[in-house]
Structure 1
Amino acid sequence: MAALDGLCQALDGSGCELYLVGGAVRDWLRGVPNTDLDLLVRHPDLNSDALEDLLRRQLAPAPVLGVGESFRVLKVKWAGEWLDLALPSQPAPGTAQGWRSDPRLSLAADLGRRDFTVNALALRLCPGHEEPELSDPFGGRADLAAGQLRATGSAAERLHEDPLRLLRAARFAAQGLAPDAELTAAAQAAAPRLAQVAPERLWHEWQRLFAAPRSSAGLRWLARVGALAVIVPAWAEVEGLEQHNPHHRETVSDHLLSVVAELDRMGAAPLTRQAGFFHDIGKGRTRTLEPGPQGLCGHFYGHEKVGAELTRQSLRQLRASGQDIRDLSRLVELHMRPGQAGTRAAARRLVAAAGELLEPLLDLYAADRLAHVGEDPAQIAARQTFIRAAAADLPRAFSEHSLALSGHDLLALGLKQGEIGAVKRWLTEQVLAGTTPNERDALVQRLQAKDAPADRQSLK
């Protein structure tokens, strides 16, 4: 990277040591691109204030800004990019901030305070003409090769320092690194403390989890350590809940995770995977049991509407964006509709209701059905194709505002102002039912046909 090469040249002869640390080194070892650079600068003979003064002189005229009081990060505008240079730091018991920076701290001591061994890695930059030197004091490289996630030092201490690391561990599990027994046991003890983490921080990590290749693996680990019910309280209502239904061989919670696994396999978007997690969350409040030929039979009438509201509540608690709340709750509310759209008219109404969420909804439908007992993938694909084809002539989110006849057109045809809304709704239904194309002349003819309601009040 040109910016790093220039930075090395500027620091040449200053006595500063510059390292690339953490995730960028981890991903470099795995052959995965990573443009999020985490840099560490130390000097064996200077304290924090003296190092900052030195850097400002060496990097002038580039601006160097200090961030943080005890745990310092220097922001440097270099080669058109802002780079963060962290100073080595360690816990400082008894201080309000909890950490203190010390540029003379050894590299191993600084790496020892990082969360996981796969992040406790450093690559020496600016080494003259030598090959870049990798520092790996805790065996992170071997853990990467073994597909294992271990805490750096004591797992209990690392999670006590920041409970959010529990969610980060789940994200690594979703990337193929299995948390070891010590980390899992520490996570079980630390899970209740997630309730003390700022919702915005939880939401950020929650989204990153669903962007990982195997988000279902991370969710299963969170369920195992008791963390899911802390993040999403409604999870407790479906965890281990038997469905007593011949179409389901799993509990509600296992079914939800199986649907996410199907969406992982399909390479679905993170939003759709998250909808898979929430889609049956309302079954805990809607289950009824009735005697059947083979014992109790479970029903969940209206679970999609209840689930949509629980999704909204959960996402509001996590401080999700308004758009995410609307989209995810809408997908949950509509997730039963593709399976019920057996006619062209029903398919067109579904497409109008789904709008821009149609493709995520069809992915969710497919994953949900594939997680049922005895479903035929060919039939599922055929239903998706049927729905798309039935509404091929409709714009996404078709509504009365999409009609080729405007309110002014209807007034010109002799309708009264108070009749416009009802007539537009009736014409919209004709288009969605497939009886009339959304063309101006066709809509006028439909309105003037003998079977059109003569009494406009009857349309209200």
Structure 2
Amino acid sequence: MQMAPDTSNLDPVVLELGHLFADAGYELSLVGGPVRDLFLGRVSPDLDFTTNATPDEILAVAKKWADSHWEMGREFGTIGFRKRARSGVVLLIEVTTYRAEAYDPESRKPAVAFGSSLEADLGRRDFTTNSMALRLPSLELVDPYGGAADLAAGLLRTPGTPEQSFSDDPLRMMRAARFTSQLGFAIHPDVHRAMADMAGRISIISAERVRDELVKLICGAHPRAGIDVLVETGLADLVLPEVPALKLESDEHHRHKDVYQHSLQVLEQAAALESGPEGPVPGPDFVLRFAALMHDVGKPKTRRFEPGGAVSFRHHDLAGAKLTAKRMKALRFDNDSIKAVSRLVELHMRFYGYGDAGWTDSAVRRYVTDAGPVLERLHRLTRSDVTTRNQRKADRLSFAYDDLEQRIAVLAEQEELDSIRPDLDGGAIMALLGLKPGPAVGRAYNFLLEERMEHGPLPREAAEAALRAWWARQPESRAPANTDPGETASPAAPNSTGDSTTPDS
């Protein structure tokens, strides 16, 4: 790796801003990740700068120059700007006054004190690779802590002692694991040791900040290495305890690895199956990757020792889905992500009922319907869940899944598999049976949905005949004339979503 940053791709806007501050009598430096990325040959639209100007002075210099600005970080000395580059790319710029922060060990937030020295500001940053600056507009590299050498060596160190750094901001321990995943860096032994000793301090960090670092880690180029760091240092025991718990288990399907190593391999294999930007699962895809990591977390809870020494994990898919949803809720994930990941965990074993004889058309329809919007991810998760060294077994499973996907494709050409509905909607059901909205309509709707699953699309006349025959067997059909069958007290069967409400017509 080069030992000097490549500034040839630096946007002219950066130098413009540097000249503005210099003309006003202030220092300005590009700092942190954007400088590191110049060494790596990358350019980011998010640019961080540091200066000896105060927030009010920053605004005075750049407010008219920028397209827009925001002041949400003012109490921390940060003013944000948005500026459209000549290339048309919108640059997000943050300019922060030199800091000399004093942290309260028991607080989640730093007590900010402004500083007057660039070198001192760099010394309070997380790692040496992020403690480099490029003075503007001269483009002089400032690297007092050997960040360029560490970058070349692929090593994560802290500018000061790691104990002081992690005491100042415990989230930096999560960042170390994240950079291992994103950049493939090794962690200096002193840093690794401090992380293990101080892992408990992560408990003062908000769930949202931990979640954001975890997402970046999972979506990195080397997520297996990042997860290993979390587990080795004990951080995972606090932020993702279901994963280190897997180290205690043995998997009866994959005897050559414990469940922990198997899960990491599935994570790697799932990431490798992501599609390009125009494909069905563009990578990096957090939902697929996290489901791959968590797919077997139900095994510790469901482990049973059978006669003869065998070990079983019955219904670990259902248990794992519940554990996954619970952990994601604790980490403040959005509901859509929780639903998608836990659904994948719940369905990851469904394919193993697909024997040599294949499935009936109705079983294939249910597989597609149950997967819903995560079907393409489920394809990839299921294929990734094969880590056996037995090539014959691996080939057999792969061929079987090829066959299932082909069955799905053939049925999809004949039917609308992605939106299976009964052949009659709620309005038609009520008109045919003379019902008002109520539980009986929901049960009729579910009956027709089952017919659709079992037999595929039916002509309208056949669907109506089947519904009349079903209704003739229901006690409501024989209700006295003065009784409204739509308001009967008979219990209603749940519909396909688990509710007993009348479906929309």
TM-score range, shorter chain: 0.7 to 0.9
Q: Which amino acid aligns with 2:428?
A: D
Cα gap change, 1:316 to 1:54, in 2 (>3 Å)? closer
Question: Are residues 1:153 and 2:153 paired?
Answer: no
Match of 2:431 among 398, 412, 417: 412
Aligned residue for 2:47, secondary structure, equals coil
Distance 1:378 1:416, change over 3 A: same
Pick aligned residue for 2:259 from 249, 252, 256: 252
Amino acid at match of 2:99: S
Correspondence for 2:341: 328
Q: Which deviations, in whole Å up to 9, do the C-alpha atoms of 1:101-153 show, x marking residues without a partner?
A: 12x21x222211111111111122222xxxx2222222222222222222222
Match of 1:386 among 406, 421, 424: 406
For the pair 1:285 / 2:301, whether they are aligned, the reply is yes
Q: Which moved more, 1:331-340 or 1:84-93?
A: 84-93
State the Cα RMSD in Å: 3.0
**Deviation (angstroms), 1:189:** 0.9
Shift of 1:278: 1.1
| 1:258 shift after superposition | 1.6
- Work out which of the residue numbers 83, 94, 102 in structure 2 matches 1:84: 94
Aligned residue number for residue 87 of structure 2: none
Q: Is the 8 A contact 1:248 1:372 kept in 2?
A: no
Change (3 A) 1:409 1:239: same
Aligned amino acid, residue 339 of structure 1: Y
After TM superposition, the structure 1 stretch with the greater mean CA deviation from structure 2, 310-319 or 407-416, is 407-416
CA-CA distance at 1:287 after TM superposition? 0.5
The answer to whether the 8 Å contact 1:259/1:371 transfers is: no
With over 3 angstroms needed to count, the CA separation of the structure-2 counterparts of 1:447 and 1:167, relative to structure 1, is same
* Matching residue's letter, 2:349: M
Answer whether contact 1:355 1:396 (CA < 8 A) is retained.
Answer: no
**1:437 corresponds to which residue?**
457
Residue 15 in 1 paired to residue 25 in 2?
yes
- 1: distance between equivalents of 2:389 and 2:333? 30
Q: Residues 234, 247 of structure 1: CA spacing in aligned structure 2 closer, same or farther, 3 A cutoff?
A: closer
Q: 1:125: which partner in 2?
A: 136
- Number of residue pairs the alignment of both structures matches: 438
- Determine the structure 2 residue equivalent to 1:361: 378
Q: Does the CA contact (< 8 Å) of 2:318 and 2:346 recur in 1?
A: yes
The question of whether the paired residues in 2 share the 8 Å contact of 1:338 and 1:347 is answered with no
Q: Contact 2:83/2:91 (CA < 8 Å) preserved in 1? A: yes
Counterpart residue identity of residue 31, structure 2:
V
Which residue type is aligned with residue 116 of structure 1?
Answer: F
Deviations 1:268-298 (A, max 9, x none): 5221110011111111110001133xxx211
Q: Does 1:203 align with 2:219?
A: no
Following superposition, the deviation at residue 208 of structure 1 comes to 1.1
Which whole-Å deviations, capped at 9, do the CAs of 1:191-215 have from their partners, x for residues lacking one? Answer: 1222221111111111111111221
1:74 aligns with 2:73: no
Report the 3-state secondary structure (helix = DSSP H, G, I; strand = E; otherwise coil) of the residue aligned with 2:250. Answer: coil
Amino acid in the other structure paired with 2:45: T
Which runs of 5 or more residues in structure 1 are unaligned?
43-47
C-alpha distance after superposition, 1:221-252 (max 9, x if no partner): 11111111211233354332223x25432222
The answer to whether 1:315 aligns with 2:328 is yes
Match of 1:108 in 2: 119
Q: Shift of residue 5 of structure 1?
A: 4.0
Distance 2:102 2:433 in 1: 80
**Which is worse superposed, 306-315 or 3-12?**
3-12
2:188 & 2:372 partners in 1: Cα distance? Answer: 44
1:351-371 deviation line (CA, Å, top 9, x unaligned): 101110101111111111235
Q: Distance in 1 between matches of 2:445 and 2:363?
A: 19
The one-letter code matched in structure 1 to 2:144 is P
TM-score normalised according to structure 2 size: 0.78
- CA deviation profile, 1:322-374 (whole Å, cap 9, x unmatched): 11111111111111112224303212101101110101111111111235754
**1:303 aligns with one of 311, 316, 325:** 316
Note if contact 2:127-2:156 (Cα within 8 Å) is conserved in structure 1.
yes
In structure 2, stretches of 5+ residues that fail to align are 1-10, 85-89, 275-282, 477-491, 494-505
- Check if 1:347 corresponds to 2:364: yes
Conservation of the 8 A alpha-carbon contact between 1:117 and 1:152: yes
Q: Secondary structure at the match of 1:423?
A: helix
TM-score by length of 1: 0.85
Determine if contact 2:304/2:313 at 8 Å carries over to the other structure: yes
Distance in 2 separating the partners of 1:11 and 1:456: 82
2:324 & 2:30 partners in 1: Cα distance?
Answer: 40
Shift of 1:73: 1.7
Task: Give the distance between the partners of 1:225 and 1:394, measured in 2 at CA.
Answer: 52
1: CA distance between counterparts of 2:103 and 2:380?
A: 50
Distance 1:278 1:442 in 2: 45
